[in-house]
């Protein structure tokens, strides 16, 4: 499924990673969830390409193109937990990989032009968009089931995986530039507890829009209680379904923030 993408290495401060690039239009960085760049993540990226965006899909976790399996997901998670690029328990600081991602955002903006670039993180990368938003090039951050820090204890359940200084920079962009942040989660997702969205609402006010999808037992939409991946693995692509509505909101959000016209 990656055959239609151009593979381009990108280097910043001595760190080089492959980036899969495809499409024309405003730039959007798609940061993969666990276990890596698997079929559902590529399908989401393809939707953005079809909608008229240039997608940058960096290789952050796992093996690009490898199919999803529970064993593969567990292996990728274990590797991420010990990798120096990810600080999975950090409450008041972001993962070091976000510095590289900010540089990639600047490169995408240089290549694509327009008011700025969008980004979406999922699961392990879910709230990386907040740290990236410190850079002026990032205009449309989407946080899909943001799972860091791992919600162990009350403090981490409400934490944003962001330093105090970076949080102030994000709040300043919201207050002075009208920047917006979109968040997505399933209500029963233990990896993305409600306290995290409460923190975002408290800190960002009207600058944060949270979409929360019912996954309680016996919910009328058939969402499984273990539902986690809003726009990928647990997406029900049917009109009237709340996950389809969430996907459509993501697409409108990018259009609102990135289309110069």
> Which pLDDT does position 189 carry in this prediction?
97
Distance CA 45, CA 38 (A): 11
Q: Does residue 212 fall inside a structural domain?
A: yes
Cα maximum dimension of the chain? 50
> Which pLDDT does position 16 carry in this prediction?
97
| CATH assignment of the domain containing 35 | 3.40.50.1820
190 by DSSP, 3-state: which?
coil
> Which pLDDT does position 1 carry in this prediction?
83
Q: Give the helix/strand (H/E) hosting 196.
A: helix 194-204
> Which pLDDT does position 232 carry in this prediction?
98
Q: Does residue 228 fall inside a structural domain?
A: yes
What total number of domains does the chain contain? 1
Residues of the chain below pLDDT 70: 260-261
Let me know the angle formed at the C-alpha of 181 by 112 and 11, rounded to the nearest 5 degrees. Answer: 40
Other Cβ atoms less than 10 A from the Cβ of 74: the count is 12
Q: Does residue 237 fall inside a structural domain?
A: yes
State both tokens at 137: 């090039």
Residue 27's domain spans which residues?
6-258
Tell me the pTM.
Answer: 0.97
Residue carrying structure tokens 């540089």: 103
Order across the sheet with 138-144: list the strands. 6-12, 15-22, 54-58, 27-31, 117-122, 138-144, 181-186, 208-213
> Which pLDDT does position 261 carry in this prediction?
60
Other Cβ atoms less than 10 A from the Cβ of 241: the count is 16
Q: Does residue 1 fall inside a structural domain?
A: no
């Amino acid at each position: 499924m990656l055959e239609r993408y151009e593979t381009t290495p990108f280097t910043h401060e001595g760190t080089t990673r492959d980036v899969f690039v495809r499409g024309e239009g405003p730039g959007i960085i798609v940061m993969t969830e666990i276990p890596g760049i698997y079929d559902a993540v590529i399908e989401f990226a393809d939707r953005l390409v079809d909608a008229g965006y240039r997608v940058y899909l960096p290789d952050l976790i796992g093996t690009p193109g490898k199919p999803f399996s529970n064993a593969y997901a567990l292996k990728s998670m274990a590797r991420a937990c010990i990798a120096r690029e990810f600080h999975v328990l950090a409450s008041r600081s972001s993962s070091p990989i976000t510095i590289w991602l900010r540089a990639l955002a600047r490169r995408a903006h240089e290549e694509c032009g327009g008011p700025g670039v969008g980004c979406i993180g999922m699961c392990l990368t879910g709230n990386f968009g907040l740290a990236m938003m410190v850079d002026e090039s990032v205009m449309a951050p989407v946080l899909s089931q943001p799972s860091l820090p791992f919600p162990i204890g009350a403090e981490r359940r409400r934490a944003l995986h962001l330093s105090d200084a970076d949080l102030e920079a994000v709040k300043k962009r919201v207050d002075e530039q009208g920047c917006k942040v979109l968040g997505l989660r399933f209500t029963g997702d233990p990896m993305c507890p409600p306290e995290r969205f409460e923190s975002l609402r408290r800190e960002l006010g009207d600058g944060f829009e949270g979409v929360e999808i019912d996954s309680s037992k016996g919910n009328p939409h058939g969402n499984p209680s273990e539902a986690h991946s809003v726009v990928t693995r647990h997406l029900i692509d049917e009109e009237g379904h709340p996950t389809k509505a969430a996907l459509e909101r993501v697409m409108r959000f990018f259009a609102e923030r990135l289309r110069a016209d």
